Structure 1
């Protein structure tokens, strides 16, 4: 598959100081670990901060967490059966690829599912460390993750999918094929650094009149990176900006605190907001201090903490969706 490059330079920018939040410790989690130690039995599940501990840490009022809706997957190293590694061998390279694949089956840009293998081939060709994906179905995630795993054959990959919420039922919104519709984050971690990953997801309290309630999903690859994606309201720019601020100023610092995550953080997505200093809904208004944003000249953006340094960006023309693939190459 050949891709056309439409830009090779950053189109916009923004910087400042990141807000933080202290890590939450869980007595219940410590107790479970001590019990397992004294009983000399394996701990059968990941020791995570239970929901009641999250609630006592004052979940921001702008979001509602929905941990039971998240679909997670981990793949071990792919092995030697693929086409070969495309991910960078540099220990400081950290690249993000943002995709909107328009695969719900309902939108006019839907192309019979062809956007999934096309997006997957771009994932393989670019070998990103993290991928943020919007407008896909839950059954698309495994296919996309397989391409990422093939790009990093000696490393672990993960995925976390969060469905949009159907306002009529309060249940996951569905694609035309009946699978859940939403967004996902995918990532790679070197086998030598891999332990596990945690996933977080929820919806924004502020919503438009659509039956599709907008959501966000985040993943913490422990000790390596934290990443999130979202697809914001398409009917109201003021609402999209409000949702963007809820994600960047509330959800991300809160969840990083819950996770105990420090270090490089990347948020990518279709924000339905543009960079325009003359516009009251300029996307730059939801970039916190200590972060930088690189946009595709339209509505897709990648926002990252300033411990990462910009290298270059590229918009890849795609045939089966109405959005370019937006690649931002970083070092850190």
Structure 2
């Protein structure tokens, strides 16, 4: 009798295995996830009040409209005031990070003209990129003789990392800052992107990207780089009313 019970158990086990195998044939495998688009929009809004291109906030209006229209994953911002970032965050729903330039004379944050808050660089991100980790804000070792001391801002998010900066208008100093930028960005790994007004054109900007990173530029001083996890598909410039430069949109796949 015991032998008969064992035989029935073996038969039941074979039947169950056959059913599992049949189910595997009937249920299609989940399709592989396609590489998703990942767009980075670089903007110099010239809203500090220091330069002739200052338009009393018109560039901020235009930037908000461009973000709504193009919906980039990351927006890198130069020459903005802290209240600009607050407003852009409120009106787009994006997350934000901000780093003020340093004031050589006082050692503290540099302010925008007319007491409009701190002046510097910022990053806006689609909430889908996840929570922000601890920001990295580093003044460059190399600085020119101007009162504004330049900084780089980098932020790791759950699904990506981003850096932004504006380099010195002095080409020799910018070249040294450029190498510092590459070292900082390299430490963020294969999911990092970087955008900024680098003050450098053509091959002079190449050292700003770690080896093997993708590179897009506007034919002038604005550049976007993508780490090894990104493939540059195309780039274009976007008119930004009231700014000195058009926006640079780099479209990546990953």
State the TM-score bracket (shorter-chain normalisation): 0.7 to 0.9
1:194-222 CA-to-partner distances (Å, cap 9, x unmatched) read: 34433121210110010000111111112
The TM-score with structure 1 as length reference comes to 0.63
Q: Which residue number in structure 2 is paired with residue 310 of structure 1?
A: 232
Structure 1 or 2: more helix by fraction:
2
Structure 1 residue 239 and structure 2 residue 167: aligned?
no
Q: Which runs of 4+ in 1 moved over 6 A?
A: none
1:198 is paired with a residue whose SS is: coil
In the TM superposition, what is the alpha-carbon distance from 1:147 to its structure 2 partner?
4.0
1:293 paired residue among 210, 215, 232: 215
Q: Which residue number in structure 2 is paired with residue 175 of structure 1?
A: 112
* Structure 1: distance between partners of 2:48 and 2:214: 31
Select the structure of larger CA radius of gyration: 2
* Structure 1: distance between partners of 2:139 and 2:245: 23
Q: Is the 8 A contact 2:190 2:228 kept in 1?
A: no
1:274 paired residue among 185, 201, 206: 201
User: Structure 2 matches for 1:12-23, cutoff 5 A?
Assistant: none
Q: Which has the higher contact order (CA 8 A, sep 6+)?
A: 1
Q: Is the 8 A contact 1:189 1:221 kept in 2?
A: no
1:187 paired residue among 121, 125, 128: 125
What is the total number of aligned residue pairs between the two structures? 220
Structure 1 residue 212 and structure 2 residue 139: aligned?
no
* Structure 1 unmatched ranges of 5 or more: 1-89, 150-156, 257-261, 277-281
User: Structure 2 matches for 1:18-37, cutoff 5 A?
Assistant: none
* RMSD value, Cα: 1.6
* Structure 2 unmatched ranges of 5 or more: 1-33
* Structure 1: distance between partners of 2:76 and 2:171: 21
2:67 paired residue among 123, 129, 152: 123
Structure 1 residue 325 and structure 2 residue 216: aligned?
no
